[in-house]
Amino acid sequence: MVNRQVSQQGRSRAIALLCSSIFAAAILTPAIARAQLKQPLLSEDNLKKVSDHVYVIEGFPNVAIVVGSRGTLVVDTGLGERNGATVMRAEQKVAKGPILYLTTTHFHSEHTSGESAFPAGTIIIRNSAQQQEMDKGVAAHIEVFKKMSDQNMGLLQNVKFRPPDVVFDREAKIDLGGVTARLFWLGPAHTKGDELTFVEEDAVLIPGDIVQKGIFPIMPNPDASVKGWLSILDNVEALHPKFIVPDHGAAIVDASQIDAERAYITALQTRALELKKQGVSAEDAGKTMTAELKAKYPDWPNPNNVAGEVARVYEQQ
């Protein structure tokens, strides 16, 4: 069991070091769904090792844990405090250092609403675009999720958030002791504030909802961006990740999934533009392509996501 009694001085030092790395990144680094009706509870028994420093709790969503000698970074929380507590028990099994960081891939409820289960000394870090979405939209998103099932209603009672300790614009690096986690924002795709994490020493990418396997991409509203999604895929491909930990679907994939995701979105974009040129309405194109893609990918869940994808192409081209 790791002692989380970090002194306020030590915590302040960790935040100061992190802010220093963010300032350097700002100077040196170029800018480069709806879910299933019922969400299973996370289980600490589903904790799996990905690489020397990275673990994943397989579930809804997959939660990544990056472990260094002096600190641990948790990426996402699960849905509600009960799942957040599960994440904390799993984190305690593998943590080595006293400092705990929390970041989230985007503002949606299943990724953020377990925050209150984390200790008060946790250093919460988030990109500014995502934090703006949190402030504006997370309460409404929670209400939508509550209505999906009685289980969700129970999980999402009395959800509480606190302001993040650190907010960055483009990039932040966290030295966890023997391993570095690079947090970065490249623009909108699934949401405006999609955040990705690259664990440099292990070449592990934690991409949020941007790289998935066997799932129709979710572009739920005009904040989502087809062009942005494709641009992000190009950028993360250049990192040459060895392992990728998606938010949903498969627990671990390799870099070939980036090309598979790009191929799907590019083909969807091409087909939607064909229908648009023929004068087909966005609504009718959505229906046509939902049927086509459901037939092509019969095992993929949530084919209704296709209509949103088509709508984004129509809006943005």
Three-state secondary structure string covering the chain: CCCCCCCHHHHHHHHHHHHHHHHHHHHHCCCCCCCCCCCCCCCHHHEEECCCCEEEECCCCCEEEEECCCEEEEECCCCHHHHHHHHHHHHHHHCCCCEEEEECCCCCHHHHCCHHHCCCCCEEEEEHHHHHHHHHHHHHHHHHHHCCCHHHHHHCCCCCCCCCCEEECCEEEEECCCCEEEEEECCCCCCCCCEEEEECCCCEEECCCCCCCCCCCCCCCCCCCHHHHHHHHHHHHCCCCCEECCCCCCCCECCHHHHHHHHHHHHHHHHHHHHHHCCCCHHHHHHHHHHHHHHHCCCCCCCCHHHHHHHHHHHHC
Is the residue at 114 inside a domain? Answer: yes
Q: What average pLDDT does range 42-60 have in this prediction? A: 96
**Alpha-carbon span 198 to 312, nearest angstrom:** 28
**Alpha-carbon span 269 to 263, nearest angstrom:** 10
Is the residue at 276 inside a domain? Answer: no
pLDDT cut 70: percent of the chain above it:
88
pLDDT tens, position by position, 189-248: 999 999 999 999 999 999 999 999 999 999 999 999 999 999 999 999 999 999 999 999
Domain extent at residue 81? 8-254
Is the residue at 245 inside a domain? Answer: yes
Q: Please report the pLDDT score of residue 84 as a whole number.
A: 97
Tokens in use for 169? 């614009």
pLDDT cut 90: percent of the chain above it:
84
- Residue 34, pLDDT > 60, answer no
Q: Where residue 37 falls among pLDDT bands split at 50, 70, 90?
A: very low
Q: Please report the pLDDT score of residue 250 as a whole number.
A: 82
Q: Where residue 2 falls among pLDDT bands split at 50, 70, 90?
A: confident
Is the residue at 51 inside a domain? Answer: yes
CA angle 180, 127, 119 (to 5 degrees): 70
To the nearest whole number, what is the mean pLDDT of the chain? 91
Is the residue at 265 inside a domain? Answer: no
- Residue 66, pLDDT > 90, answer yes
Q: What is the CATH number of the domain that holds 198?
A: 3.60.15.10
Is the residue at 190 inside a domain? Answer: yes
Q: Please report the pLDDT score of residue 31 as a whole number.
A: 25
Is the residue at 282 inside a domain? Answer: no
What's the structural domain count of the chain?
1
- Residue 77, pLDDT > 50, answer yes
- Residue 51, pLDDT > 60, answer yes
Q: Please report the pLDDT score of residue 236 as a whole number.
A: 97
Q: What average pLDDT does range 84-90 have in this prediction? A: 98
Is the residue at 154 inside a domain? Answer: yes
